[in-house]
Chain A
């Protein structure tokens, strides 16, 4: 059935938006967590795996994934913090809260759009079964 490939595309879209939301909430969660010197904080980002074509990218076996990248540091002078270095500076990951919040809203809306597309396809498939049953 050709409908299966559209189902696969909807599934990929839902998974991708969920991962974007996960990445944004992870980044917001670590925004005010001081990083230790040896282990810098890592920002998450949802990516689609590399594939030869667009159809393969959203196809049945495609799985979006989260990748981590080192965050830029933001230094705050706070000698009373136990995580402060010998100069009294505490390093926080530099998180753009405005960007993360808009990603949150955007991912939620895009998830709803994917659900709407899936439901429309489902009701179309159900309606197509009614063809010819009126007599």
Chain B
């Protein structure tokens, strides 16, 4: 009768996976770069809406509908960014609360 020893637990495969993820990040634009460019675009849209509202308040000859459309445009973009942020925070909390 022989006893088969149990193999030691190896985390080699996890390390391998980690390396693979790192290679993907180097190949494509990083997630933070993507978020950063989207945020700067949103900031430009908000600044444009703000400038048109200021111009209208200062009495410049700007059609009212252009100002309203710029404001709605910025509002939609902001709402979209907030939703994306909510999803990211949800995913992050899912991962941090995971029982190991």
Contact = CB atoms under 8 A, between A and B. Distances in A.
Interface of A: 3-4, 7, 10-11, 14-15, 18, 118, 122, 125-126, 129, 133
A18 B65 contact: yes
A129 B69 contact: no
Contact of B65 (A11, A122, A129, A133): A11
Given A11-B65, A15-B65, A18-B63, A133 B72 contact: no
B68 to A, nearest CB: 9
The B interface is mostly helix, strand or loop, or mixed, namely helix
A3 B65 contact: no
B69 A133 contact: no
B47 interface: no
Contacts of B83: 129, 133
Contacts of A125: 76
Contacts of A122: 72, 76
A10 B73 CA distance: 12
Contacts of A10: 69
A3 B83 CA distance: 17
13 contacts: A4-B73, A11-B66, A14-B63, A14-B69, A15-B66, A18-B63, A118-B69, A118-B72, A122-B76, A126-B76, A126-B79, A129-B79, A129-B80
A93 to B, nearest CB: 27
Interface in B26-73: 63, 65-66, 69, 72-73
Nearest to B82: A129
A3 B60 CA distance: 28
Contacts of B73: 4, 7
A11 B69 contact: yes
A126 B73 CA distance: 11
Nearest to B83: A129
The 8 closest A-B pairs by CB, nearest first: A14-B65, A129-B83, A11-B69, A125-B76, A122-B72, A129-B79, A7-B69, A15-B63
